[in-house]
Copies of this chain bind each other. A is one copy, B any other.
């Protein structure tokens, strides 16, 4: 009888533990996605190709050239294609939509608020991100604060890395999304 109770106790412990897959010290993502998105900033001449536009700027700046002082004060609105690899011309699996804000005067940093809207054979739903982006750091982490559809109620961390940067018009970000709360 004691053996049964000990077994039961152990079984209960497993139940309780497994109910919190991510709440231990060595966290393993319950889901992971690696995606790329591509941003082409409107500069007054590339209206056909541009996927984003400067819509706010500090005093003295304009909306076709990123502001001086590390673009401090620029808000850029974007609707960028998301691809499965690092090729801008690969078939998009969704759109990255939202804004970034250049928010430091003495280095490049941004604040990000955006969503991935995925619509492919593999994924249907949206993923919502916010966070600080210290652009000059090789990889930086932002928060995945929620999701819908296939990503219903998900939370996690997205590690972003700048994969390419051409002048002040094009950049590509690699986004490694690790979900730690899946539903």
Q: List the interface of chain A (C-beta within 8 A of B).
A: 1-2, 4-5, 8-9, 11-13, 15-16, 19-20, 22-23, 27, 42, 44, 53-59, 62-64, 72-75, 77-79, 95, 97-99, 101-105, 109, 111, 113-115, 117, 126, 128, 130-132, 134, 141-149, 152-153, 155-157, 180-181, 183
Q: Please, which residues of chain B bring their CB within 8 A of the CB of A1?
A: 1
- Whether A132 contacts B153 in the complex (CB less than 8 A), given A8-B9, A62-B59, A72-B53, comes out as no
- Whether A9 contacts B9 in the complex (CB less than 8 A), given A56-B75, A64-B59, A157-B152, comes out as no
B11, B42, B77, B103: the one within 8 Å of A59 (CB): B42
Q: Are B79 and A109 in contact (CB under 8 A)?
A: yes
